[in-house]
Structure 1
Amino acid sequence: MSGRLAAITAALCLTSATVALLPAPSSAAATGPGGETVAEGRHTAQISRTEYGIPHILARDFDGLGYGYGYAFAQDNVCELADQVVTLRGERSRFFGPDGESGEGSDLASDTYYGGQLRAGTVRQLLDQKAPLGPTAELRRMVEGYAAGYNRYLRDTGVGKLPDPRCKGKPWVRPVTALDLWSVVYDVNRATGTVALAPDIGEAKPPTAGAGGTVASGIPDGKDTTASKTSGATAAASVVPGGQGLAAADVASNGWALGRDATRTGNAMVLANPHLPWALGNFRFYQVQLTIPGTLDVSGAGLYGTPLVEIGHNRNLAWTHTASDAQHASFYALKLVPGDPTSYVVDGKAEQMRRRTVPVTVRDQNGKLSTVERTLYTSRFGPVLSSAWTTRTAYAVRDANADNLRSMNAWLAMGKAHNLAQLRTAQNTYQGIPWTYTLAADTSGGTYFTDSSAVPHLTDAQLARCARPDSEEGPAALDGSTLACAWGSDPDALVPGIYGPSHQPRLSRTDYVANSNNGPQYTNPEAPVTGLPGVYDIDPHLDQRAQLGLRMIAERSDGTDGLGAPGFTEATLRASMLGNRVLSAETGRDDVVDMCRAHPSLTTTDGTEVDVRQACTTLARWDTRADTGSRGAALWITFFNRLLDGGPPDIWRRVPYDPAQPLTTPRGIKGDEVRVQRALADAVQDFAARDLPVDTELGAVQKWAGIPLPGCDVGCFDVVEAGPDSGTGTPTVGAVGTSFLMAVELTPDGPRAHTLLTYGESSNPASPHYTDQTRLFSRKQWVAERFTQAEIAGDPALTVTTLHS
């Protein structure tokens, strides 16, 4: 019997003295808005917390595993899940009023959208399906257990005694149901599609007389749209050129899987480096280990409110995800029937938009509740948007993940997999990965890359024939007046409308696969992935972060990066990750220094003459790194962002993009270009206006809760974007970037890993685990993972909680 199995067996046979120290069992149940219940049956789980509050959940079955996970998550983040549930139940206006944080009616629009989903029974209908379309029996039990564990914590602690002051005693903190949790999953799956447009969908209404060609609010220029508070997080999406769909704006990542030919030990390694908003909500990660002896033992991180590890490893396999460059949703332009803006024409025949009336309870400024009725409009191509709805045209969005609860099936099966072949089988069976690439390695020393996400089945011919460019009247979109522009299907696709596994990009290697949100083509430049449908590879150009990642691997392979002998070790993998190199500076800093030495006085955008000699000296002395103590990094970031805002980069690039040199072009900066000179002058003026020396350390102006942060967003591999306002002690929604870090080596004796959750396990400002790992990140330190029972038991800070119900 293993040590951990023995521990849980002992937990089932507690003495009466031990039982007295445990929370009392209960048979209470939670009730949701539809009357559904989560009964707390027999659950047993053990929560062992190691350094930095990282929970290791041990149970004998999936009911208990979910129970322990839900309880542990509630201990750290009870307010976040409670807030998500308010959103997903369409009740923000009831508790916070209709205007939301923006003061522009965002809560009312959000409630309309989510209330409509509940009335339509969308998630319930997906749950009614059997696996593989619906959740497996194991997952259903785990989610039921998770809800029961969360509710157990809430009941034992009491809402009025919650340790988090943000939701202590608040009426919106209530028990959750399994339906609530599946709604969280459903929301996460559609993050790069309809969720980003939820307020726009909730606000949709036919134009009034005289609207003609006038564009409504939201996305009139087809460039971008930003959702307000959805599921407790700020989501953003942008229109993809060519009228093909949406892509997440603040969802990015780096991921490497290194094979036996790339490492000094011959053991495979995986680097996980997702970049997500640090703002509170369901796009933050929670680190956890989940163990059922003999069935599952997986460690890593999952998004708030989801019941599994989504990036992580077990004994034999490790994987990570990066945001896919493929399309996962499409805009459709609807040709409206003259005189009837709620009817549209498809292949010459009129179709009426479907309407759904949604009652929303609203609290006014005096606390009085009333009910308003709103209407949602839906077409055959998906929900209709408020933006750009005129008497001639309306726009709808179709989401490839609109029928997807399968993601949890895939992640659970991946967590159980023993090798890459089983991981592939898991993804092919459930086809549920919503919007990410997968990079993985196993103990054989092999690596694997794929885009197994849900991608609309649109051929290149359709895209060429059907795309309508963005204009003053609306966003880029596909032609919704003919079914010839509708999504097709693959014979091996589990659901209609998407590409099946036979068309998905794949690459297996024994050296490496890597991705930094670039398309699949240069996953490994030695074996370009080509011949894909255009929806998979929107833009084959590599941005500077992707170029830097491939350069870092190449330089580690030949030992020219200053980190010692060629080949990766787990230590040099970590050092590479947090080396904080800035490729934009490596390839352009000297050009700027030459320019400012030749022109010690430059003119700003507003015509002011600025002395740039000190700035020039600062940049010349800078080591081109974005460490917290780097002097010159802050100035460079300000300058380069000004430069990017000043017009197309082709104008100021010294060496333009060359398709024959995709890994090294474009590069350099034209010092004689006026916008380059103006950008530096503006940056110096900006520092003076803030009363900052031009050689201010990066960590003095880039903070989170007062803690200096490394990294940057202008050619850094370690992406961090946070302004000085986030140093006030109250983190802002503006911070984004490196969130969960994992560097794991798969040795014959078991995994050896280091991790870092940059914002800590708890969202509670009063918790010791609120920013404890942020301080590590500031110092480039990692947490040595404790994976085995012996490693967990050996932690001097270990605390153990055993739960029964």
Structure 2
Amino acid sequence: ALGAAPPAPPVELREAVAEIARHSMDANPEGGELGSNGWAFGRDATPDGHGVLLGNPHFPWNGTNRFWQLHLTIPGEVDVMGATGGLSPVVSIGFNKDVAWTHTVSTGKRFTLYELTLDPADPTVYLVDGQPRRMVARTVEAPMPGGTTLRHTFYATDWGPVIALPRAGLAWTPQKAYALRDANTLNVRSVESWMRMAKARDVAELRAAMGNQGMPWINTLAADRHGQALYADLSVVPDVSAEQLRACAPSPAAAVLLNAAGLPVLDGSRSACAWREDASAAAPGRIPPARMPVLVTSDWVQNSNDSFWLSQPDVAPMAGISPLVGAIGTPQRLRTRSAIREIRARLAGGDGLPGDRMGAAEARSVILRDRNLAGALVMDDLRSACDAAPAGATGPGADVLAGCRALAGWDRTSNAGSRGAPLFREFWRQARDVPRVWRVPFDPRRPVDTPAGLDMATPATRAAVFQALGDAVAALRSAGFAPDATLGEAQWREVRGQRVALHGGDEFEGVLNKLESQGQPRIAPGGYRINYGTSYLQVVGFDDRGPVAQGVLTYGQSSDPASPRAYDQLPLFAAKRWLPLPFHPEDVRAQREGPPLTLDYGPP
């Protein structure tokens, strides 16, 4: 995208909308949408008055974004345990003796695009407040195989580098060009933030430790042994208000293109459209911590990658937050709704577990129940429509009827033994995109409960839903599975010659324990090739000594398939078993398998 060169031909609007949606930026260069569940409970929600923290990041199972477990100590300064990813040398999700924390990917925007108005006589000159400014050209060379050299000239503006995605409508024409300003440019503060967090003694100190705004694109949820819980989005976001977004709206064509993917674009011909600068921010043009959403409570908070709006759904949403941080009053992803439903049911004593508190044991149980919220929302209507369908030539085809029979006995979970779960996944993968599929539309006054149901009373919707069911049956049969196959038959991983059946569901199913086959659009022969989702799991409570933690790293501590540590924890995860995480020195000594790695950076 940065390989811009002036000028380029225009592109059809429909192609542009599709292309810019495809190029919407997320935090995962390896593909897929990074996500997580994070829950934190304070003294009013736990059985012993201490805090409880659940961390459940959903990340790739290989590549640079996989996790590694570690216990980092600096004598007399730091004692912190947990996991890290992205080749970071410090604990990014974990706990010390007083506080535990996790992260989820935030909805905040990390950049804005600026639409440039060019000098008609020179496409490398742009106008700001009517005055010309020349782009700065820099030619870069890179050696290529065969002894050739690749050369390209990049162009920079005061708004950032010029980018070009011609098929996305971001073409460099004689009249317009586009520059990208990235809020995380030169942000190398995350390691410092995590080291400060490692020393925190409660959630207040943890919040203060993030004051340098080193968290590039993540929320933080935390709980401490004193019984306080924290939700905070202190990530890096451009300081642009709702008023400024309206006042700096670009040309209508650019607005259509960019709003299709939710990308903010500002008018680069006016200096008034520059990011605001607040001296209390860690870097110029970023929203300072005081104007980002933070909630400290003795009750509970949660996040499953939606905005701050429902981080605690029983309190009023935080006011005065820039729309670039996140939206209020919009439909929530099914995982968010599932998390809130499960937490509320637990604290009401209505979920089948003893009592009405969320201790560490209850959190471990709830997160791996594998309830399928999409199934809970639509199956009653689907079954009723199946039962009411006419028989014979005027009724549904054989595949639809086979699907109706297979789903009649489905338990509406994504457990490994759940019969019919693969069929529902393939059905809902298609049916969720049927226009006006929901019987009850989204209501911002009932965001946890809506949308819901299937609109089977509308003939076109009913026909499309039945078509999706028949197509799902055909997809399973084509892949070699019966319509009533169990999830474990289709979703598994081989570990040292043994097939390990896996529980968990796809993002669109609303299963908290998310497992996905990235790059696999439908079920294939052999089933689902799981390569993404639940990775490092931790639940941390506290007693008078400090943390009491259990966890599991689904794919183990080695990325070498020949290593005994590769996927050695996957059978534990499959059996919904957790490993104690030894934090205290005596526990570490009892479970140590080898000497610690000591790094000495002192003088020789």
TM-score, structure 1 normalization? 0.67
Deviation at 1:804, TM superposition (A): 7.7
Shift of 1:411: 0.8
Q: Are 2:479 and 2:527, in contact at CA under 8 Å, matched by a contact in 1?
A: no
Number of the residue aligned with 1:652: 437
Aligned pairs for 1:167-566 (under 5 A) are 200-201=1-2, 203-207=3-7, 211-212=9-10, 221-225=19-23, 234-235=29-30, 250-281=33-64, 283-363=65-145, 368-387=146-165, 388-391=170-173, 392-428=175-211, 430-468=212-250, 474-476=257-259, 477-531=265-319, 532-541=321-330, 542-566=332-356
**8 Å contact kept, 2:476–2:482:** yes
Contact 1:286/1:303 (8 A) holds in 2: yes
Q: In structure 1, what is the Cα distance between the partners aligned to 2:551 and 2:428?
A: 31
Runs (5+) with no aligned partner, structure 1: 1-199, 237-248
CA distance in 1, matches of 2:141, 2:242: 42
Change (3 A) 1:205 1:618: same
CA distance in 1 between counterparts of 2:255 and 2:314 reads: 43
Corresponding residue number in structure 1 for 2:513: 718
Separation in structure 1 between the aligned mates of residue 417 and residue 139 of structure 2, nearest angstrom: 56
Pairwise CA distance, 1:560 = 1.0
Report the secondary structure of 1:564's partner residue. coil
* Preserved CA contact (<8 Å) 1:556 1:568: yes
Tell me the CA shift for residue 217 of structure 1.
9.5
What does residue 469 of structure 2 align with?
A: 680
1:564-622 alpha-carbon deviations (Å, 9 max, x no partner)? 2211221111010101011111121111111122227799xxx9944323321221211
1:508/1:472 CA distance change after superposition, 3 Å: closer
What residue is the counterpart of 2:262 in the other structure? none
Cα pair distance change 1:512/1:332, threshold 3 Å: same
**1:445 Cα shift?**
0.3
1:580 equivalent to 2:370? Answer yes
CA 427–697 in structure 1, closer or farther in 2 if over 3 Å, else same: same
Aligned partners of 2:121 and 2:487: how far apart in 1? 59
| Of 500-509 and 673-682, the range deviating more from structure 2 | 673-682
Gaps of 5+ in 2: 260-264
Cα deviation for residue 728 of structure 1 reads 9.9
| Alignment root-mean-square deviation, CA | 2.9
Matched, 1:698 2:487: yes
Partner of 1:593: 383
Query: 1:597 aligns to what SS in structure 2?
Result: helix
1:569 equivalent in alignment to 2:359: yes
1:335 Cα offset (Å): 2.2
Query: One-letter code of the match for 2:448?
Result: L
Q: Note if contact 1:216-1:386 (Cα within 8 Å) is conserved in structure 2.
A: no
CA change 1:682–1:271 in 2 (3 A) is: same
Note closer, same or farther for the CA distance 1:729–1:690 as it changes in structure 2 (3 Å cut).
closer
Q: For 1:41-92, what per-residue CA distance to the aligned partner results, in whole angstroms no more than 9, with x for missing partners?
A: xxxxxxxxxxxxxxxxxxxxxxxxxxxxxxxxxxxxxxxxxxxxxxxxxxxx
**2:490 touches 2:527 (CA, 8 Å); kept in 1?**
no
**Cα distance between partner residues in 1 of 2:23 and 2:392:** 36
- Is 1:780 aligned to residue 569 of structure 2? no
Whether the aligned pair in 2 keeps the contact of 1:268 and 1:746 (CA below 8 Å) is: yes
Q: Deviations over 1:245-297 (max 9, x none)?
A: xxxx612111011111111122210000111222412x111110101232100
Please tell me the residue identity of whatever aligns with 1:466.
C
Q: Which secondary structure does the structure 1 equivalent of 2:338 belong to?
A: helix
Evaluate the alpha carbon distance shift between residue 227 and residue 656 of structure 1 in structure 2; reply closer, same or farther with a 3 A threshold: closer
CA contact (8 A) 2:396 2:466 kept: no
Looking at structure 2, the residues matched to 439 and 681 of structure 1 have their Cα atoms a distance apart, in angstroms, of 42
1:709 and 2:502 correspond: yes
In structure 2, distance between residues paired with 1:537 and 1:637: 29
Q: Does the 8 A contact of 1:601 with 1:609 survive in 2?
A: no
Q: How far 1:341 sits from its partner (Å)? A: 2.9
- Which residue is equivalent to 1:661? 446
Give the Cα–Cα distance (whole angstroms) in 2 for the partners of residues 728 and 693 of structure 1. 12
Tell me which amino acid in the other structure corresponds to 1:719.
Answer: K
Q: Could you tell me whether the CA contact under 8 Å between 2:43 and 2:51 is conserved in 1?
A: yes
Provide the residue aligned with 2:553 in structure 1. Answer: 757
Contact 2:309–2:318 (CA under 8 A) maintained in structure 1: yes
Deviation at 1:628, TM superposition (A): 1.6
